[in-house]
Structure 1
Amino acid sequence: MIRLLAFLAICLTFALPVAAGPVRIKDLVDFDGVRGNDLVGYGLVVGLDGSGDGLRNAPFTEDIMTNILERLGVNVTGEQFRPKNVAAVLVTATLPPFARAGGQVDVTVSAIGDAKSLMGGTLIMTPMNAADGQIYAVAQGTIIAGGAKAEGEAGGVTQGVPTSGTIPSGARVEREIEFKLSALEELRLALREADFTTAGRIEQAINRDFGRRVAVMLDSGTVQLDVPATRMASVAHALGRIENIRVEPERKARVVVDQRSGTIVMGEDVRISRVAVSQGNLTLRIQETPLVSQPNPFSEGETVVVPRTNAEIREEPGIGLAEVPNGTSLSEVIAGLNALGVSPRDMIDILKSIKAAGALHAEFVVR
């Protein structure tokens, strides 16, 4: 398994991105106002197989269970009702843009008490609120948990996260968010990755497609659209035409490394100034070989353990001092290091040192 991971890491090292090519505007920007809204609710899951909340440790579970039963006409006041098949949960979802009443959305259910698993449970009708405190959806249904847990007297095993699950199409939209797209005179296109060059190309592409000035770049992350100038039947018609216009985005020179897996991913625009590189490995080895000393037979004395330590420092030969010419691309440097047998983790250390020396002209991202 370790050899396979190392092989994949080296393969990913050579996976250099090529030119992006034309990309649809819809994949580069978000339209101002066209977004989802987060919903959250507090509910109760029932039907668990003895893996629910311990009500002594989670009194809020008992409170919500009592409230639900009383709303259904069951009086449990003063009763010692402590089942193990219920759990208090938080329910989250995202209301998509232009969602209409009666539509359905997926929900995520997560335990907030000491329940061990939500597998097989059913979420009871749970109102879901937005940031304004209004109820926009109601969730209910059977939970699909993403894990499993088994335990005995002496131990147990857990796979995945059984205390969290999903309900596909588990919430029904009850209230619509008021947003009149057709009344907009101006609309902003927000770039997901701000860049002046990309914003300028989007402006030029839109104006070229309509044959007149309908878009203007405000800054590196915003392009403003003059809706009446598009002469389209509606704002929706204009956006439907604009989002499929293709633009070639400009990317920043960036190097991303993952120290845990030894993965290195880089952009084709990365460049290195003239610099000299040398790398070697220092190995420190300490070995304990204690010696046991025993007294002679029938003599007075005691057995003594004498410590004995062998310490060794060994420096393995490195790649030597090598000069990297000015304007060399990072892909050429990596290819040279691979030819010398340098491991991906050693490459990361070398790249860090080159960046610290100011010779690596790219954004360096370490994960």
Structure 2
Amino acid sequence: MSRIICAILLSLYMVFPIGAAHAGSRLKDIVDIEGVRENQLIGYGIVVGLNGSGDSLRNSPMTRQSLEAMLERLGVNTRDETLNTKNVAAVMVTASLPAFSTAGSRIDVTVSAMGDAKSLEGGTLLVTPLMGANGEVYAVGQGSVAVGGFAASGDSGTALVRNVPTNGRIPNGALVELEVPFELNDQNKLRLSLRNPDFTTATRIAAVINAYLGTTAALATDPGTVSLARPFEFPGGMSNLIAEIERLEVDPDQPARIIINETTGIIVMGENVRVSKVAIAQGNLTISVSEQPAVSQPNAFGEGETVVVPQTDIVANEDVADLAIVGGSVPLDDLVNGLNALGVSPRDMISILQALKASGALQADIEVM
């Protein structure tokens, strides 16, 4: 029986190793791999087939020139003719080329109007080369544009617009023609870039990787970078190594920071925010101003004229608030409970936090959005 229990415990340990229950973040969620990145693509094209909602050729010379050039390539000469159509629109086409995309695969594209087109609904994007920052064509886009909005108007000037009808997408609308060369498996060394740079987090990542591999393969070179070398005895390429370590869990550290959005009254506090022991009092001052019109007129048979004069009444009310003590170096939960005990609104809490920072009692950075 004891052997069976030991076997069960061993199997559970292999499936759920010690430390897996700790609430950490996977490496794949907090770092980016050097060379494994998307590439932005852009192109200029025209959309045809619009139901009178396209560019007016008089106000959009680029649309007219593009239409003439396209027809000329197809054997139709319209250079000396007057074109009058509103079924065509000039657009910018953008896309993101995922890492390791192969020739022949498809990617989504976004189509956005450039001229005075009212809507791209029902339009079809014609063949559009999509270029990278180096000027090379990596994909070619074409297809029917899917628009998530609409626009309708009447002769009286009444209009109804929902969402943005001049912007649309073409799912799988571009065909990859050129691959971005990067041989990941041939790399013996690469870098892990932290999405939120921090010295402590970078050191923890290197320690977790080294403990898992049993050798010094990772080194935190700066707060945003961890250098990773493939051990000689590791059975596999760099892809296998990344697959092994990206599921490791690390508890990322974060600085003491408070984010404040004064426009919406949103407050976000980090876990490490601390406040020295202080006493806080908060009271609301309300000033009410009311005016009542009164008529002033002269006595009977007297000189003068009847006028309306305002009578102003000003009342000031101030709430009486006792001092509330917030303990020093308390956890975030206690700090929030202490501030909530004051019964203040989020906007008043913003003023309190700024006053605490000015007094030197708040050990955190305040960032106002």
TM beyond 0.5: yes
The Cα RMSD (Å) is 2.6
CA contact (8 A) 2:281 2:322 kept: yes
Query: For the residues of structure 1 that align with 2:304 and 2:89, how far apart are their CA atoms?
Result: 67
In 1: Cα distance, 2:80 partner to 2:239 partner: 58
* Alignment of 1:204 onto 2:207: yes
Q: Report what 2:145 is aligned to.
A: 143
Q: Write out per-residue CA displacement over residues 222-256 of structure 1, whole angstroms, 9 at most, x where no aligned residue.
A: 11111244623211111111212221211222222
How far is the alpha carbon of 1:274 from its aligned partner? 2.2
**What's 2:132 paired with?**
130
| 2: CA distance, partners of 1:214 / 1:238 | 11
Maintained 8 Å contact 1:283/1:316: yes
Q: CA deviation at 1:318?
A: 5.0
Q: Partners of 1:191 and 1:36 in 2: how far apart?
A: 17
Structure 1 unaligned blocks of 5 or more = 1-18
Change over 3 Å in CA distance of 1:101–1:149 after alignment to 2: same
Secondary structure of the 2:165 match is strand
Q: 2:316 corresponds to which letter in structure 1?
A: R
Aligned counterpart, 1:183: 186
Judging changes above 3 Å, is the alpha-carbon distance between structure 1 residues 286 and 53 closer, same or farther for their aligned structure 2 residues? Answer: farther
Matches of 1:360 and 1:20, distance apart in 2: 30
User: Are the equivalent residues in 1 in contact too, given 2:90–2:113 (CA < 8 A)?
Assistant: yes
TM (normalized to structure 2)? Answer: 0.86
The farther-off stretch of 178-187 and 210-219 is: 178-187
1:309-328 equivalence runs, <5 A? 310=312, 312-317=314-319, 319-328=321-330
TM-score with structure 1 setting the length: 0.86
Q: Give yes or no for the alignment of 1:160 onto 2:163.
A: yes
Aligned-pair identity in percent equals 51
The residue type equivalent to 1:189 in the other structure is L
Picking from 106, 110, 113, the partner of 1:111 is 113
1:26 aligns with 2:25: no
Deviations 1:26-56 (A, max 9, x none): 1111111111110000011112222211222
Give 1:295 deviation, angstroms.
Answer: 10
Q: Rg larger in 1 or in 2?
A: 2
- 2:16 is aligned to none
Q: Name which structure has the greater RCO, CA cutoff 8 Å, separation 6+.
A: 1
CA distance 1:120–1:325, shift in 2 (3 Å): same
Map residues 12-91 of structure 1 onto 2, 5 A cutoff: 21-91=23-93
Q: Is the 8 A contact 1:210 1:230 kept in 2?
A: no
Work out the CA distance in 2 between the residues paired with 1:166 and 1:194. 34
CA deviation after TM superposition for structure 1 residue 92, in Å:
0.7
C-alpha spacing 1:307/1:86, structure 2 compared with 1 (3 Å): farther
1:239-284 per-residue CA deviation (whole Å, 9 max, x = no partner) reads 1112122212112222223334333232232110122322222333
Determine the C-alpha separation between the residues in 2 that align with 1:312 and 1:333.
38
Are the structure 2 counterparts of residues 140 and 340 from structure 1 closer, same or farther at C-alpha, using a change threshold of 3 Å?
A: same
Q: Which piece of structure 1 moves more, 346-355 or 218-227?
A: 346-355
Look up the equivalent residue of 1:191 and give its one-letter code. L
